[in-house]
A = this chain, B = another copy of it.
Amino acid sequence: MVTQKMIAEKAGVSIITVSRVLNTPDKVKPETRILVERILKEYQYTPNQIAQSLVSNKTSIIDVYIPEYIALDNPFAMYFIAGISDALSSQLYSFSILRNLNREHNCDGYIVTGLLSNEFVPVWEYAKSRNRPMALFGHVALPGVDCIDVDNVIGACEITERLLEAGHRDIVMLNVTEEKDYVHDRQMGFYRAFENKSLIGEGKAIGDRSDIEVVQCSNSSGSAFYATKELLNRRQPTAIFCATDTIAIGVVQAIYEKGLSVPEDVSVAGFDGLGHHLLTQPQITTVRQPIYEIGKMLAEALLARISGKEESFKNVLLKPQIIEGKSIGAATHGTGVKGNAD
């Protein structure tokens, strides 16, 4: 390994002069500077980052904590990581993915995801004890943390309103059988759209949703395929709102298999916008969670905090955007709100 010491000896100067040529060249006589630069180049000197880190107490590494229960090989993780990677590499930072906190690792800051608010406290204390800033995908009531989260309720509400505005009144939601916040929130958003349009059955209290059908299946297109076949054997809604695009793929297939068309016979709406919505024909109109952008924003927020450029802490709740596909059409059959027709 070529060190500053070796360069200094070759050039007949002291180590610190070499260091100055590298860091503050203006403070070195041009003659000396040119000599040292020539030797640096000749011996292909590269600084030892480790030694620099020891002095500066900076590593140029961000630790990204993704708990082990989140598979790295799903679109969520990959978009998140891609966003972080792009934000950091432009600033000459790199990152390490941590799957647990068993191990010491020196870094300049943490990006954290996949935690419920109560799980977050120990991680927060961990970062605080190391005096490192932290940015969180999620929202939490702890001070000194940059937070960004997605509003699943609004996303589900808006795309459901979209279906309602296209004239659909008999909309079935295919939701996931998982006890996660996002599952609950998307169903709430679905209901809220009916409430906003005052389409909850007359004479029923706001909040009485027994007249709106929600079918459950697991989050796979195969499960959605069978659930949809069963549904279509029973009756034919004018639209299906799918809690995820993975589900929507199975729904579209089941509609085809039934000899029906999308969107002519049944409209389909999805949620996630992480690539699966592009796989069907027609492409699915969906709600996009900007995971890539969130990863990028979190990384940028963290870098701003590290550099001291930013004073106030972010606390953002993003409104997800509707991505236009071709899977939503005008309602061509049906009898209005199913509850009203009963």
Task: Please give the residue numbers on chain A whose beta carbons come within 8 Å of chain B beta carbons, in ascending order.
Answer: 1, 44, 46-51, 53-54, 59, 61, 71-75, 77-79, 81-82, 85, 89, 92, 94-100, 103-106, 129, 131, 220-222, 225, 246, 249-250, 252-254, 256-257, 259, 275-276, 278-281, 283, 292
Contact = CB atoms under 8 A, between A and B. Distances in A.
A38 to B, nearest CB: 19
A281 B222 contact: yes
A48 B256 CA distance: 60
A228 to B, nearest CB: 10
This protein's copies in its complex: 2
A253 B225 contact: no
Contacts of A292: 73
Nearest to A250: B281
Given A59-B50, A281-B257, A129 B44 contact: yes
A150 to B, nearest CB: 17
A242 B320 CA distance: 35
> Which of A47, A59, A89, A220 has most chain B Cβ within 10 Å?
A89
Most central of A79, A89, A249, A281 by chain B CB within 10 Å: A281
Nearest to A53: B50
Given A47-B104, A72-B85, A221 B278 contact: yes
Nearest to A98: B94
**What 7 A-B pairs come out closest when comparing CB atoms?**
A72-B82, A78-B78, A256-B256, A94-B96, A225-B281, A73-B82, A221-B279
Contacts of A221: 278-281
A78 B85 contact: no
Contacts of A53: 50
A191 to B, nearest CB: 28
Nearest to A56: B50
Contact of A77 (B47, B48, B78): B78
Nearest to A275: B73
Contacts of A225: 281
B105 A100 contact: no
A139 B47 CA distance: 32
9 contacts: A1-B131, A49-B105, A50-B59, A96-B96, A220-B278, A246-B279, A252-B253, A256-B256, A259-B259
Contacts of A78: 72-75, 77-78, 81
Given A94-B96, A253-B280, 11 more contacts: A49-B104, A50-B59, A73-B78, A73-B79, A81-B81, A81-B97, A89-B98, A95-B96, A221-B278, A254-B281, A276-B279
Residue with the highest number of chain B CB atoms closer than 10 Å, among A49, A129, A225: A49
A106 B275 CA distance: 35
Contacts of A103: 92
A338 to B, nearest CB: 27
